[in-house]
Amino acid sequence: MFRDGHTTYETVCSHGFLYVHEFPIASIASGSATPEVYHVIKDFGATEWEKPRLGDKIKKINRLEPAEYFEDFIRNSPEAFDWVDPDARYNRILYEFPEGNFRGRFARRSMWNGEDLTITWENGTDTKVQFTLQLTASMHKNGELLFNDTQSLTDLCFLSEAELGNLVSEPVDSERTDDPDLVVRQTGDEKHRPNGFPTPLAHSSEYAMATFAVPGDEEAVVLVIRTFDQIDLASNEFVHAMSDFLKEQIAAWRKAGYKRLIIDVSNNNGGKAILPYDFLKQLFPSKEDFPPVNMHYSPVTWAYMQSINDGNVYELYRDSKMNDFADMADFLGPVRKDNDYFTKMWKQDYKQFGEDNYDLEIAAASSQQPFAAENIAIISNSHCASACHSFVESLHNQGVRAFAYGGRANTSVPLQPAGGTKGGKVLRYDDVRGFLERAQDNDVVLEAAGDQSTWLLQPLPVRIKNLNVNSENKFREGNRLPLQFVYTPACNRFFMDKTMFEDVSTVWKKTREAAWGSDGKPTECVDYDPIEPEDTFLEDEETAGAEDGGKKSAGQSAWNAPNHHWLAAPVLLVWALFCI
């Protein structure tokens, strides 16, 4: 999926440059009117973080109304955006609120089609925008360019025959490690403290989570979850720190007498898959939510699944009724569904997963539920993806309402609180290739997946920055449509105004007003027209084996199932590079 952050194809040279200009923007509403676009004034090169200011109002971009220009930009720009939902992509073009580390995709692009930009201001004057070319870390080292002519640039972009022969590909630093928009922070304990927020009541390790007061309501508290992933801590240490922090805060909230909880997941790209299920258990001690999952059939899929965990990966999962699988054949299938081939539906037992991988017991500190579902509200700017979506989805299934802010200037349509990828595990191409390379002489893998020529992956001739694929479909119980294609609107939405732009706590105050009335009782959700009726994609029967219903092994079925080659698109893209 072009807009799916789990599915990524970026080469060193295609994503070695940044195209930046000095006119980041914000979308600001006044009263009940639809929002208008303003220039954001901020020195992104300053050594100390500075608060942004709203500049002049923008009336036209390339002679088009801003709404018209951006509608085309979010749909047709070569920018990947990494957000499935168009309103989430719209928010991504804006100045990143509230932390301000990113000027937005309008003013900072990793792909540029050469278009000229002219901004027309409210007073009628025009400004011709000048782009500045910047290099990412993959293109220079210690202040020196890694290329100085066509041949050295070719060597930087493509692997040599010797490297291909030795299966060697140099690792490349992430673009964000040398991002000009990232401000140098303090060192020590405070180096991870985010800018743009008020002083927290409490915070977790690396400020991944923090709690704040809600203006005007002493009975409400805000939990900001910025990420489910660590920065410096080891994975195990981070997971335990997050789990312990939430347990401690729930006890503190109960002691303080808080009656309402607002959970802000804005700008949360996901992280550790175990944490959403740990958090659900702490907020709803008597509940469990393990979503059904499957994988699309391909020889690569079958070979990879057979090659990991000593060929016993089925032991980590349960069937749709939480019963054990007998063996790999019982686990993988394949089954025929929606005129194609997939694994059986399975569920990950996150209790076992937590114990096996993190030595973490998923259990609430108290059997008493800290808040009723109606007294919890989620707020998001639609930038919530992966593990963040899992968290929002699990709370949605318990009846928790979600609210969203920003998005395109259209009051008649809803906005999704989770506008990013809703898929399962993401796999790196090199990791999968490594497993398969080591399994090419494994008789069990050969029997299950068939001829190795259909599943061995070759090293790509271009130097890769990021090459990942979403490997799992996640589902709601009883619905056969994968969640990445399910539109889940927020209970209600609102636009950002000038007071919110200046103070993030007013976003929480607005959420409090939208979620509960002055008497503290929950409000009704907006009755948006559904994108699809609820019963459109009810689960149907799965048919084991081939079309005639006869069950066969994965290897046997490979001869009859359509030959879908995993990661075919990146390979075709690589081939296309040679044709330019």
Per-residue pLDDT for 425 more than 80? yes
Overall average pLDDT of the 31-40 stretch: 92
User: Within this chain, do residues 127 and 146 fall inside the same structural domain, yes or no?
Assistant: no
Position 187 in a domain:
no
User: Within this chain, do residues 25 and 37 fall inside the same structural domain, yes or no?
Assistant: yes
pLDDT tens digits for 219-236? 999 999 999 999 999 999
Position 525 in a domain:
no
User: Within this chain, do residues 129 and 240 fall inside the same structural domain, yes or no?
Assistant: no
Q: What confidence score (pLDDT) does residue 536 get?
A: 60
User: Within this chain, do residues 202 and 256 fall inside the same structural domain, yes or no?
Assistant: yes
User: Within this chain, do residues 249 and 344 fall inside the same structural domain, yes or no?
Assistant: no
Overall average pLDDT of the 268-291 stretch: 94
Number of folded domains in the chain? 4
Q: What is the DSSP string of 316-372?
A: GEEETTSPBPSSHHHHH--EEETTEEEPPPEEE-HHHHHHHHH------S-SS-SS-
Residue 216 CA to residue 26 CA, distance in Å, equals: 26
Overall average pLDDT of the 434-462 stretch: 90
> In this structure, what are the phi and psi dihedrals at residue 116, rounded to the nearest 5 degrees?
-85, 145
Question: For residues 415 and 256, is the Cβ–Cβ distance under 8 A?
Answer: no
| Residue, of 375 and 479, whose pLDDT is higher | 375
Position 528 in a domain:
no
Question: For residues 536 and 526, is the Cβ–Cβ distance under 8 A?
Answer: no
User: Within this chain, do residues 150 and 95 fall inside the same structural domain, yes or no?
Assistant: no
| Six-digit token string for 215 | 């203006």
Strands 140-141 and 144-145: antiparallel
CATH number of the domain where residue 79 is located: 2.30.42
Residue 205 CA to residue 241 CA, distance in Å, equals: 7
Q: What confidence score (pLDDT) does residue 413 get?
A: 81
Residue 178 CA to residue 176 CA, distance in Å, equals: 5
Per-residue pLDDT for 32 more than 50? yes
Overall average pLDDT of the 419-427 stretch: 93
- Name which of 29-33, 78-82, 338-342 the model is least confident about: 78-82
Q: How confident is the model at residue 540 (pLDDT cuts 50, 70, 90)?
A: low
Residue 320 CA to residue 433 CA, distance in Å, equals: 30
Answer with the one of 85, 119, 135 that is the final residue of a domain. 135
Per-residue pLDDT for 28 more than 50? yes
Q: Is the peptide bond before 417 cis (omega within 30 degrees of 0)?
A: no
Q: How confident is the model at residue 170 (pLDDT cuts 50, 70, 90)?
A: very low
Per-residue pLDDT for 186 more than 80? no
User: Within this chain, do residues 437 and 321 fall inside the same structural domain, yes or no?
Assistant: yes
Q: Which domain holds residue 400?
A: 198-285+364-422+485-515
SS3 of residue 27 by DSSP: strand
Torsion of CA 224, 225, 230, 234, to 10 degrees: 90
Q: What confidence score (pLDDT) does residue 93 get?
A: 96
Which residue, among 355, 379, 346, 208, has the nearest Cα to 277 in the 3D structure?
A: 355
DSSP-assigned letter for residue 266: T
User: Within this chain, do residues 202 and 71 fall inside the same structural domain, yes or no?
Assistant: no
CATH number of the domain where residue 258 is located: 3.90.226.10
| Six-digit token string for 256 | 């303080």
Per-residue pLDDT for 503 more than 80? yes
Position 180 in a domain:
no
Q: What confidence score (pLDDT) does residue 33 get?
A: 84
User: Within this chain, do residues 244 and 258 fall inside the same structural domain, yes or no?
Assistant: yes
Per-residue pLDDT for 563 more than 70? no
Starting from the edge strand earliest in sequence, which strands make up the sheet with 335-337, in order?
A: 340-342, 335-337, 543-544
User: Within this chain, do residues 165 and 36 fall inside the same structural domain, yes or no?
Assistant: no
Position 531 in a domain:
no
Per-residue pLDDT for 572 more than 60? no
Q: How confident is the model at residue 569 (pLDDT cuts 50, 70, 90)?
A: very low
Overall average pLDDT of the 377-388 stretch: 97
Q: What confidence score (pLDDT) does residue 167 get?
A: 60
Which residue, among 544, 482, 546, has the nearest Cα to 344 in the 3D structure?
A: 544
Q: What confidence score (pLDDT) does residue 335 get?
A: 93
Position 356 in a domain:
no
Q: What confidence score (pLDDT) does residue 185 get?
A: 32
Taking each helix axis from N to C end, the angle separating 429-438 and 299-307, rounded to the nearest 10 degrees, works out to 70
User: Within this chain, do residues 542 and 495 fall inside the same structural domain, yes or no?
Assistant: no
Q: What confidence score (pLDDT) does residue 38 get?
A: 98
Position 521 in a domain:
no
Q: State the residue for tokens 């079309």.
A: 547
User: Within this chain, do residues 156 and 112 fall inside the same structural domain, yes or no?
Assistant: no
∠ CA 159-162-168, nearest 5°, is 60
Overall average pLDDT of the 114-137 stretch: 95
Per-residue pLDDT for 433 more than 90? yes
What proportion of the chain, given as a percentage, has pLDDT over 70?
A: 87
Q: What confidence score (pLDDT) does residue 532 get?
A: 61
Per-residue pLDDT for 559 more than 60? no
Position 186 in a domain:
no
| Residue, of 166 and 75, whose pLDDT is higher | 75
pLDDT tens digits for 290-336? 899 999 998 999 999 999 988 899 998 999 899 999 999 999 989 99
Q: How confident is the model at residue 113 (pLDDT cuts 50, 70, 90)?
A: confident
